[in-house]
Each structure stands twice: as C-alpha cells, then as structure tokens.
Structure 1
Amino acid sequence: MKHRHTHITLAAIVLIMLCSCVREQFTPSGLSGGEGYLYLQFGTAQNIEISTKASLKAESENRIMNLYLFVFDGNGRKIHSKFYDELERVNTEAELSSFDEGWYKVNSTEYGKSSTGTIKLKAPTGSGFKIYVFANIDGDMVKISSELLSHNIDTEDDIKNFKVYINQETTSRNGYFPMSGSIDNVTIKDGSNVSASNIQLERIDSKVVFTFKTGTRPDKRGQVIKSFEPKGWKVFNIPKTSYLMGHDEDACNVDPTTPTGDYSQYASMFFDSEWMNFEEFPDDKTSSFSFYMMENRQHPKNTSFTDYQQRSKRIKTSTGLNATQDVEYTSLSGKTGTKSRRLFENANDFSTYVMVSAKVTMELTGEEEGQTLGGYVQYIIHLGDWSSTIHNDDGKHWDDDEYSGVTNFETRRNVTYNYTVTINSVDNIRIEVETSDGANIENQPGAFGWVTVAKEEIAICDSHYESRTLTFHAKNMFEGTHAAVDDLSWRVVTPFSEGSPEVGRDGEDIPAGLDYKWVHFRLNKKDSDGKFYDQSRRKYTNRLFTETTSFRSADDNAESDGSGETGLAGYHNDGLMDIMDLVKYLKAQAHKYESWLRNGGNYDDYKCDFDSEEIDKAKICVTAFVDEYYYDADPIFGGSSPTLWKRFVNQSDRSIHLLSNSNTSKDLESSSTGSVITIQQKSIKSIFNTDEDYTILQNAWGLESVDEYASVVNAYDKDGYNSKDSGKNTDIFNGLANSVFEWGLAPSGVTVGDITTIQSGVRWDKYLDYETENSVPQMQSDYKYLRYICLSRNRDNNGNGIIERDELKWYLASIQQLVGIYVGGGVLDKSIRLYNRTTAERNSNEPSVWRQHIISSTNYEGENRPTVLWGEEGTSTGHLLGSFNWGDGLTSYTVRCVRNLGLSDDAPIKDAPDDFITATKNSDGSYTFECTHINTNALRYYTTRELDLGDENSELNHLYKKFETAPADKTWSTGGLSFKDLNNSVSAYGSSVYAGYCPDGYRLPNQVELAVMRYYTGSGSGENSIVSSGYYPSRTYWSFGVLGVGGTGKDGGNKYGFCADAGNIALSASASFTKARCVRDVRVE
C-alpha cells in the first residue's frame, strides 16, 4: 500500500452576491480608555485534491460560515469573547473600518489555496494575550455551539480541556467542518489599530480516502488476478469525541495494557459504521471510497515488529481461533447493546481499522490451467502513517515489498490520508487454508474469506428462477483409469446453513440441518449420435428421478405437462434430481465407466451414461434448475413469518459445490473449496429496511441484480420505440397488476384497481421456449421483447404447463418502483443501480452508449405508451416515443424485474406491497414524508443546514429519515435566477434568513426530495402536485451537464441541474426561477 498525507486545505469559493440584502450594522461607538482595535488575519491549512461522492469538494471543505473568538490574558483569564455570525460579515475588508467589530472572508474553491479573512475586535489593552478562534460551530455533526461555548468557557484551561462529541454516528459531514486555531503573545495597544499575525485554522476531522486497484503482478504460483469486484466497506473504532484544541493525547485514550474485561468502560466512546458501497470507479480496474472521522491516536500494544502484514495480526485462542471480547455499549440515541470486538496482537484494540469485502477471480496456470478460481474475501486494514516501496513491475513478489513506520496506527486531525491498495492475488488465503491441517500459518493476517476452485465452471445465477446447462467431464473425476470420486461430496452455503452432509453407515448422505433443496437437475437430451447436448436446456418437471432396471424409451419418458413432447431415453424415468441424487448418480456412472476402462468389452453392457468411449471426450450434461432466492419458511426449522424476507434479502450469494472437498483454516475465518462445478446465486436486492426489529414494515419488493439479456432483447415490442401498451396498465406503483395486463393475462372486465387473479388455461409455452441455449432468452419469437421478458424469470412450478396465479412472482417494475430503485440506490452495488454504465461507457460520446433508459410497466397518461425513466438523469421520465425523439434517437432499452416480499404468492393482484415512503398532508398545507421504510444505508445524515451542491450520484442527493415541506411556495421579487446563479448564491449565504429564498429554518430540496414531492402530492401523476406549476429549483447538478463535465455538457444543451418543470423532474437549461418549495429535515431518533 502506498501512503500519502497532506494537511487539509480549507478553502472556499469567492461567491458573488446575487440578491439585494441589508445587514444591520451600527456606527462604531469609538474606543474608551484602556481599549484598542485588533485586526486579526486568519487563514486555513492547505489540502490536496482528493474527492469522492461521499467526501465533499473544496468549496465545502474550505467554507467558513461563522467564528467564535476568545482572548485570554497571561494568567489564562478570559478578557474578551465574541461570536461572529454571517449577519456580521462585511463584503469588503475596507468596510471593517466603519464598525467596532466585524469580519471579512474570502472563501476559496480550489484545493491548495487557503480561505482567508480578517476579524476586527475591540478589546481591553495589554500584552501577552492568547487568542483562540473556532470556526463553523452551530453545525449538526458535532456538539459545539455558540451557547455551549459562552456558558462553559471562562479560562484558558476550559478551552484546553473542552471536549466535543459527535451528534450522529456517521462518517459523512454536512459542509460545516469545525475548525480551531490559536495565536500567542498578542498585544492590543490603547487607542490604536493593531494587526496581528495570521492565525491558522485547522479542522478537527481527519479525511481518509481508499483507492483499490486490480494488480498485474503474478503471485508465487505465477497466477494473475482477473478481476476485483468491490462489495462494501466498513470502519471500526471511530471515536465519538475529541478535544476542541489539539492535545498530545486523545480525548478517549485507552491504555494498551487495559484488561479486556474493562473494555466496556470505553466502548461507548467509539462506534462502527454501517456497511457501505464503493462510490467512485475512475476506470474498470479502480474503485474508491472516502470518509471523515475524529482523530484516533491509540498507542499500540507492541512496536517491535517490522513486517507490515503483522499490523492486523489477531490474537489466537489455545484452539487456534481468533480471540474476541464481548463488550457492552450505549449508542448516541441511548440504545444499549453488546458487540464482539476483535482482539489484536500488535494494534491497540481501539485503533481504527477498515474492513473491505470483495469478489476476486483469478487466471489459473500450471497444473490448474483451465480451472476457475473465485473468492469472496475480506481485508482488514488498520489506519496509520507509514511509508512503502511496492515492487509491481520488477518480477518480485510479496516478501520483497519494503515498509517503514509500520508500528504507527495514528489518524491525526486536519490530515488527509490517501491509501492505495493493489490487489494482486488471493493466494495468501489459499495458503492459509491449504496448510491449516498442519502449522497455523498466516501469511496475510488481515485477509480472510472463502475461495472456490472449480474444475469445470462457477455458474453465477441471478436471484430469480433460472436454468443452466452444466457439463461433467469424465476426465475431471478420474486419476488415470481410477474413478477418484469416493471421497467427494457436496457443500452448501446459504443464510440458513453452511456445510457438507454427514455420511451414514450405509454410505448414504445425511443432509440434516442443511438448506439444499433450492437446486434440482435433469439430464440433458442427446443428439442422433448419442452425445449429450451441452448447451440446450431442458424444461422443468415435477417428476422425481428414479433409476430403472429396464430401458425406457423417449416415448416412455414423455413430458407430463400436456405438450406431448418426448423425453430422454435411458435406464431412468427422466425425472428431476436433487443434489444428493445427482452426486450419487455421478459417482455410480464414474464407477461404471471405470469398470469398462479396466475390463473392456461392449461399452453398452455397462449401462453407463458417459457419452464417449474416449475419456477426454466423455461427458454427462444436465440442466440445473435454480429456485428463486426466496424462502416462504425457514428451510431448517420450518415456520413462516411475514418478515422472514429480511433474513435473506441483500445477503451474500448462496452456493452449492458439486463433487467437492473443503478445508477451513484453524481460526475458522477462511475456507477453500475445490469442486467440479459450483453454482452461486445472487440474493434478491431491496431498497427496503431489513432491520428485523423494525416490525412496522411487513412487506416490500425486491429486484434482480442485472438484466442479463439486455444486449439480446432491447426493444419494448415488435414496433420498437413506436410500440403501444395496453392502455390499461395505469398503476404508478403496482407493477404486477400492470404486467398482467401487458402480458394479456388479465380477465376481461377488470382494472388494475380491482384485479385479483389471471385468466385460466393459458399455457406457458405460448410465451416461453424452454429448450434454448444458455445465452438465448427462453422466449418464443413473437414474445422476445422487453414487454414480456420478466415472464421468463418465473417457472411452471407444478409442471402442468398452465400459468397459475401463484406462479407469477416476477414482473416488470412500475414507474414508481423504478424511482424507488433510484431513491434507494445507496444500498445497491453500482452494477445493480438503474444507471450502471461502466466508466468507459460513461465517457463515450455516443448517446446510445452513455444513455440508459429503463422501461416501466406503467402507462404514460394520454399516450398509450409505457413510461420510461431516463437512467442517466435519475428521476426524469417520459413516454417511449419521447425517449427516442429527445434521447438522441435511442432505440435500445432495458427493464428491471421485481417481485413482492412478504405477500403470499396467491394474494389478490390488486394488493400492492408497502410503499417506501409515507406522505401526510398537514393542516397548514405542508407535507410530511416518512422515509424510514427505506434501508438506512440508502439514507443520509440529519441536517438543519443547507445541503451542499452535489450531483445526482452523491450522498447529498439522498433522503433523510423524515422531512417536510414548507406550507407554501417561497417567492422572491428580485427577478428570475438561473440554476447556476441561484445555487451560487445559496452556496455563499444559504437559502433562508439572509438570502431570502426559503423561510427561516428551511432549505432548497435536492433532486430526490423534489421527486418525492412530485410523486407523493396530488394524484401522483405530477400534473397537480405541489411542484406542478412552473419551475422549482433543486440543489442537485447533473454529472453529465455543464457543471459536471464542462463545456455545454454531455448532450450539448447547456443543462446545469435538476428542477421540477410543470410537474416533471427535468434538467434546467433556460429555466428562470422565481420561487421554491423549500424543505427541512425532521429529526428521528
């Protein structure tokens, strides 16, 4: 890892005053005896340019909004104090001469340049004074206010010992960064103007930036990483408190010799963040995230080591397990709990560290060439200040990298830490596991996870029903002519169980306590030469597999779904196998093949299903039928609950390893599985709150991870962008009801508001063609369009060939569900979000490449065409033909398939799941929006301050748990303002009090808040919402617009940011704003 750090520059932007305003100032009263004027110059420490979506830009990090000044004499007694707020600031430095006291600033918008200013104060005369200045108090993130300081500071010691505490357990900041500085030996002369030297203001926060890169250096086996896919990050041991002024020791300093049994005394002074997603992807091999925290400089337990890999070495128990300590703690909200803390051998157990989870795939070489390695890994990285020389290009390996200062675990205030982590391999995890039967070797103690090496393939499946052909080659089950399968088994990993079956006395598998019934298998058909089809899939059947002593013909094994199709001939009934059946069958076939290889003779006499007499060509092919990643009941203990979905939604992939053997490290942190084939399935993703203690939310909806056939099926219907919908799919929220009408399955005479079931007797094979190759969607040619594609995510579960109500689970998302995916996008991986173009695609100048429009199941009123959401804009919508006309002739589209959570499969179709937002109209005309149904990882912090200007992808564009609108529009009479001019003014002065764009205590909304007002007031169509008459501004600019990419923006339209335009959320090009509908957060504990 390469490490760089630089003191943070707090600079802010020189903003032009764009509205007429009057500050109340008073003519100076002059000096009395024993008084003088002091002009105190101030500036901010410098910073390097490192910014991501979660960290703020120079304008925000460098902003100075207010100042509190204290003057102490040589004995530490307070002789003067003064709070300088925005209303006492003058526009030019020259104006200070007209007032007794005041201040002036020039905020910088550039990294590397300091914000500067001057404070004028009238104070008693004397020498040897010490002056303290604090900036940006009265914010929301840190408990420090003008009132708190005025009541608690009487002496210099009070300042030195003053501790500040965070108000919210978050790694984000709202643009009001508390800063502090001091200057000694100041003299104020009687009746004179005196200028003092510059006082430097430093932030009390640290800024941490991590950049992960996919490496190119071979590991010790000569293998090179193929891909690194980040999954999330989490920060541990974040301090809740710090001294206001810098100290040699932290406000909460834990002696490294403290007995672990005493840790509960300190646990409440630290917190852990939630798991968060990576934010930036500069290119396809680079990803990054950032966060803020108070300083943490705990002393390490041991400083005698020199190897970087030992920084995160864990303490082991006598049995080789990693040691932990349970501690009690109290959160800021007063909630008590218990958590298990990791114990480290060298690092202080309260030093801050980051955990990163990722999926890694490797190119295998040598004896393993042609096999696939996939690993889900986690890395622990302790923060600190060290130096390194990394040998990436000279043929050297792990042990040749050079480090110094590895015993430093400090994170200091006002410092930016930039960590670059290059991932070259998962080999250290493999070594740890593969040697776990012997010595307890850990080459990289901070890395752990589970690794799979599959001889054939690792089949990755989405969360819906899926079928996939799999091939078992005989050569992968043999060592020479010996069938090496007797010691092979199978292994399963799900949210409900993990492990392999026990083996009974009779050699049969005992699967007690294992969740394995979600994958079934059926032998593939054969061609005229008796060779298995290795690509063509089978259809699902409810007939269970049974071997027979007599040969059954294809007619004997005909399909039981009423189609009359012939089946697969053989010494079996062509039924469905579970994993135990399949493993048993494959082992038996391997032994039959072994007998023939050894004894020769007539191959057919051995009744072996391997399809070639040449071992290198012999194979058995099956179709795997993977159930949707959904549980109606606990698969181990039984019993169902309306909120059971919270236990398996947004979880890690579940997997089944076929013909496998596994090893686990002695500390049980890492495992390695070798298999012939591994099936991994992604979980259902959801934007909803999955906290099981949040019982008010009983049902919801979730979505698939990817539209896997987007490159194959991208037209809505046979007429492309000019297609019409049914006109009856009018529900903005209930996508299932809309879809049933779009698929032609609705009974006659019903509407989306009263439909309960579907037509009877409609066959699945009207729409679906089951026996297609893996790369081809299972749709009949007349229905191979986006309008019907979500039907293929379902299955004929009872095998009768008829579409039943309870078999329609996955459907085309409604427009409001698409908006929900955008609103809750913060909890979703980048690849799952509505706009998921790669970096290269985003940078393309071809509209068909960088634009991404998603078709909903909701009719666009008055058009008889589906409503389309413009993914590159977030919440902007239009009809299908408009997407073509105004989207640069776009003709390729995508969809999102979703399913209900917590509702029974046969529930009336008109019954939609709970909404992700609850809106209430208040008696004064204001609206209150409850957002607690949304996953907390998709929400932002609470603030009473103005939101910083950010793009549509930033955290600044997220919702808080609850917010409300002002009772009415706020208008201004100073003339219309453009998006740029209005937001420049708000960035400089805020939108209320001084600027006058919002009532006192309110602020301008971001794009998502504006969209919520559009969808949740009035009828929901947008035409009669509270933001439907004219233009309403937001604080969100477009990442593809003028402020995002410069010039005239990506589409050449001089578009700056988002607004409400006659009820639709759109981009402002020529909009002139004369009013706003302002909002404010409502605190929720």
Structure 2
Amino acid sequence: MRKIAILYLLGALLVSGCVRDEFDTTRVVEGAAARISLKITLPVMGGGTDTRAVSADVEKRLDNLFVLVFDGGGKIVTRHRYTAQTGASLSSLLIDTRSGKGHTLCFVANVKDGMDSQLMALTSYNALKGLLVTATELNLGQSTDVPLIMTAIMENVNVQEGANSISNPVQLQFLAAKVTLTLVDNTPDTQEVTIIGWDVQDAPTRSYLFPDDSKDANPNPETAGADKDEYWLTTGVDYPFEEEDKQAGTATQTLYVFENRRGGRIPRALPADPDEQYSNMGLNDKDSRGKAWYKPKRATAIVVTAMHKADLVTRQIKAFIYLGQDNHSDYNIRRGHHYTFTVTVNGLNEIKIDSNVDFLVGDFLVDHGDNLTMDAHPDFRPMRIQAPKGTATMEILDSQGRTYDDPSGFDATWLKISPLNLMYHQVKQPGNIWQQDADPDSKFVRPKYIPHKSVRAKLASKGGWNAIPAGKDDDDEMTFADATHRMCYKITDIPFTEVTVTAQTLYVYADDFPVRDGTRNARVRFTYHKDGDAPDKLGVMIFDITQRGYVSFYLDDSHPDAGLYILNEDGTPSNVKRKTVVERFHEYRIMMNPGIPARVQYTGGVRWGFSRTRLYNKPDFFRNGKYMTANAVYNDVVRNGNEPTEFGKRTDSYREMYGNSNTDQGSNVNTIDPIPPYTGSNSGAPYYYPDPEERDIYHPIFRTSAARYCHEKNRDLNGDGIIDDSEAYWYLPSAHELIMWGIAGVMRDRNANLSSSESNNATAQIRSVYMTAYDEPVIAYHNKYSQAFVRCFRELEKTITK
C-alpha cells in the first residue's frame, strides 16, 4: 500500500524545555572568549503501535542545530549553525561564545531554509520568544525523509572565561503534536463503506517557535474581532489514507498539527430536533457523541469523507473527529504529544468515539483541491468525480448560470475544461505526436493539444496544432472519448464502468486575466446518471469558480513614470520602460490535486538550481528578469532588442531540470545535481504521466526550479508543446524589480527570502531580496540548492520613452 505522508505544517517540531543551570556562583568576567561543552538528548513522540508520516528514525533525526546565546539583558551574544556531517553526530557540542552572567542558550534543531534567515536576523531574546512559525514557512506535504524541528532553552547560565561544561544534557522537544487516526469499518455485510479520504478543519496555521505557556499563537477566536480565517487551515482535498486494508476494513493516517488549546465543552442548548439528541445528553455527560455538539469555536477536527451504501441507497458521509486529550470533552492539542484515535463505524449513525456525521443522499461525489480561486496568470484546477457505474457530464456555466449555447449570451469564454492535465509534464514516448518534439535528458516534455475553436480563430496565421480529426472541428461540446486532447465548454459521457466507486479527474482552465484587482466568476456543473436509474433521476453538483486579477505596486498603472527601464547588454539604460505586475498566490503552497500525496504537491519554496553554473555574467543581469528567466530555462535564447526570442524550438533547447527539495534526487540532503533521466513507471496511454510516488520526477509547479516555475505560468496557447516568446509574459523577477515591489509595500511576503532571476555566481549563491512585513527590503543571498519564496511577475506593457 503506498504511504501517503502528509506532514501538516511540518517544519516546526519541538517544544522548549527550560533548564536552570549555573557553572559557578563566583564572579563572572563579562565579554571574554569562552567555550561551552554540552550534550543533546532527543525526544520521543509517544509510544505504542502506529503508522508514521515519517519513520521513527527520521522523526527524531538531527540534521542541523541552530544555537543562539543571549546575555543577561537579552541581547544576542553569538549564534552558530551546526550541520551533521557524514558519520558524525550532533549529540555533543562545543559552542564558542563570550563569557557573562545570566546567559540564555536557545536551540532549534532541523532548521529549514526560510527559518535560517529569521534566526540570523534576531538581535534579542524577546524577539525570539515572539517568533512565529507559519504555514508559509513550513513544509506541508514534504518528503518523508525530512526530520522534525525541535527546540530547547537553557536559562540563567553563568558562562566563565575559557572552558565550561554543562553536565545536564539539553532535552529537545518537538514543536508539533502528532495524531494517529484509525478508521474501522464494522458495518454489516449488507452494507458497504467506501472511504474517499480525509481533511483537516480549523487546524492552526501559526505557532510560536518556542512555547508560551499562557497562550497559543492565534488569538482566542471567541474574542470579538480577533478571529481570522487566515489563522486557521481547513482543507477540502480528500487526502488518501496512508494505509488502507480493505480486507480487514481499516484505514490509518498519521499527521502533525500545531498546538491548539481550546479548553473543554461550552454551554449550549440541546438540539431542537429530538432525533439529534441522545439519552441523558448534557454539557457534562462525558459521552463521545456530544463532543461535536458542545465544541468550542475553532476546535481542530479531522474530517473523513466516505460513501455508505445500504438498502440500495448511497449516502455521502462526512465524519468529524474532534481532537483533544480524550474522546468526549477535551479539545486541547499540545506540542510534543502523540494522540491516537480509533473510530469504529457500525452504521450510518453508529460511529463510535468523537464524531459528528453529515450526509447527503446521492451516488456521486466531486472533490477538488484547497480552493477554486485562480490567479491572474493562465491557471487551472483539477476536479475529481467519484461514482459507481454510470455516466457524468461536466460543463461551464457563466456568472448568470447560462450554458455556452444559451441564446441570450455566455460570458464565461475565459474558462475551458479538458481531461488533459497541461500542467503535469509527460514522460517522453518515441514518435508520440501528442507530445512536445523534444528529448531533454530528463525525459519530461509538455503535452500537445488542439486549442478551442475560438483560440484557433485568433491564432489562424500562426497555427501549430495537430490535425483536427474529420468532423470534430466544433469543440464547444464533446464526448469524453473525443475530448482527449481538446478544450471544451462541455464534456459528456464521462464513463464510470465499475459497480464500486471509481474516479475520473478533469481540469478547469482559466485564461490570462491582466486586470488590476479584477474578479470574474463562473460555475462548473456536474450531472451524473447511475446505470439502471430512470432517465430523469440525476445527481447534480455545482461549484463556483473565481479568478482574481493581478496585484500592482503602482499608484496609477497608466502613469508614464510607472515601470523600470530595461538595460542594454552593457548595463546602460535603454529607451524602453517595462511595466510589471505581480501574481497573488503561491501555488506551490496550494493543495491542488485531490487524491495525490500531499508531499509531492505542497512545498515550502522553490530551488534555484544550477549550483555549478553561472548562466549569465553581463551587467544587465540584475534588471532584465524576463530575459534572465528564459535564459535559465533554455540554452538557445537569442537576444533581440534586449528581449529573449527564438527559444524552445529545438529538440535540445531545454537546460537541465531541477527538483524543488533537497531530497528529490536521493538521500544526500545537500545535492546540487539536476534530476536524472526518469526511469519510473507512467500512467500509459493517452497521457503517460510520471508516477507521483516516484522521487525523481519533475512538475512545473510543485517539483521544479525557480525560473521554470514562473515560465510555466504562461500557457502554450497554440498547443504545439512550446511556450515561445509570443506567449511568455510571466517570468521570475530580477532583484531590482523585487526591490521596487518591496518598497511599494504591497502584499509583502512576511519574513521571506524571494528568489530573483539572476545568477550571482557559478558555485554557491543566488541574489535574493529579504523582505519582512515591517522593514525595508534588503539584498540578501541564499544557496542555489535551498528553497526560497517565489513571486512571479507579468510584463503588462513596454513603452519607448526617448
């Protein structure tokens, strides 16, 4: 059974323990050279038998350790980052610092790249105690090879000049809590339960790096005006259980969550419907059935989605399992603790432990990723249909609920649907006419497709798409079989051939939306007919789709001074000014694909790559982001009027590809190599997608390098498998463009190293802009092989000014 590793908010995994220790009560010389020797003790996350999102040895592995020493007044004295070398251990340390009375030693283990820069910028103990770890800085869905973060504190330490020794070891503790959920199907043989997946509801997205015993990082949601949705994570992805034994009727999942101290039950009147009450129901009854009813606001729950079939009726079920210290009255999740829950399903309304059940009558279910709100660039969202034997139809409705053929009009021409995933590159197959005519060493290529007829009309002089099958020119509406490589408004006859529930995933595509702060809306309607039912007995589900326009950092987009001058190759200003705007969302932190392991589709950042290569070394490299982006993706860029042209048309145009995490290429966490040729399995005809469980894969959103991530925000409009210079508006910004955005102070990324498109040197670092929510942006550097934040920019227009 494949192992689904969802490390929810994995990137913070230690609680701090406070230990008082003094070397000497005699006079302490201040500020002299000193060395401290001490030992490190690792924690254990609970006991008992369970499945693990990470294995036991990885869970408490110590890869690196950040040590900060503060003086008695709380000012930073020294800081060191220790890295475990091959065959070495961090269980014993020698810390070079300065002597003084009342020092505080703070330890953070397994520091991630984004946290590195925050710890380096700290100057006081108070600032450290207020440091927040957020979802943007953590690794939701990361590889199972990534160890957990841990912390510890030693207070009131007198450090003498010269050698010092601490006899009591430093006890590290995990920052996150661990939850193991086991679902047991105990329904009679006459009933059937099909487990769809699980999600989290109201899981905190923030935590203090070091514990504050008086409060959680999030304000009390009961306080007026304090509760914000951004503080809490509720997913709707239906993640598969990491272990499922159909024969035994069990499914098990392990995940990690931040602490959430919500207390106990809150007073509430009994349900008005007597059927929703149970015998002797009351606030203090200690019955697991009341845990959902008496829950406090923002109590964290695991939501299990399933289908329950009995008496020829299929119901969609959502079971809410509220976490806490017990199964009936406590809603507290504490860092470093391991919580285990066994949920036994005896029937539709007979679920033991702490669950609440919602259900709808119906035979099909549609799920999707975290949201259906798309960005300003050409965007997409997968939507998965799950149903037993029958057929389904998927179609676009406009903002007024009209279909494409409505005589009164249709304003959702900016949306299309297809069975083809354009954003998941394919494994190259010899001679395949539906794949890009390229053969890069990685073996990954873009698919080809036939654009919708409205696009073909606009691009008639360009062409480039494959021959249209006879009689299939009109693609407003097509059957699923005919729509394999097409873009449509409506797809019919989507097949479900098994008696049990199976799935089909289709994709919704939005066009580029270059409108400042714009919003446009449409809907997707699914209709399902089950085999054997009357023709008019249909299941219908409708979903709202939203697309947002770009973010601008100009007061007036039309002002003649808006933008930056493009530089000539020698670094002198040209007479062309480029006006750029910014995307809204970090897609690499969005769970887009239902049913695919989260660890291969959610990342904490994107790598830059090319650690052994300086791609470009001319004076304009810090300004011309659009040119630099194309040059980092392709090796055949032709400079024409300071613009990148002619790229991507040869079969060997691609530069090498890079993954986005330190473990994409194997166990060496500091690897700097490109991804090797893919040798794993694929999905077969017609799309040949690589297996998402394989480690050495490429994906233009989730497992890629910075320049390619932004380049792939563009769309191959004519379907020839190439994003050429006429289609490439979105790019990785230069350092100067990032600084301009930072100075404007619009939609800043809190405490982020933002990658730029320039290569600072051949071997080690890439220039970036370090940005906080409060300070001016500054130039910084980060390793090319480490993860960093990325914001993609769009060229809005160019003007000749002189």
Structure 1 length as normaliser, TM-score?
A: 0.37
Larger RCO, structure (CA 8 Å, separation 6 or more)? 2
Larger Rg: 1
Structure 2 length as normaliser, TM-score?
A: 0.48
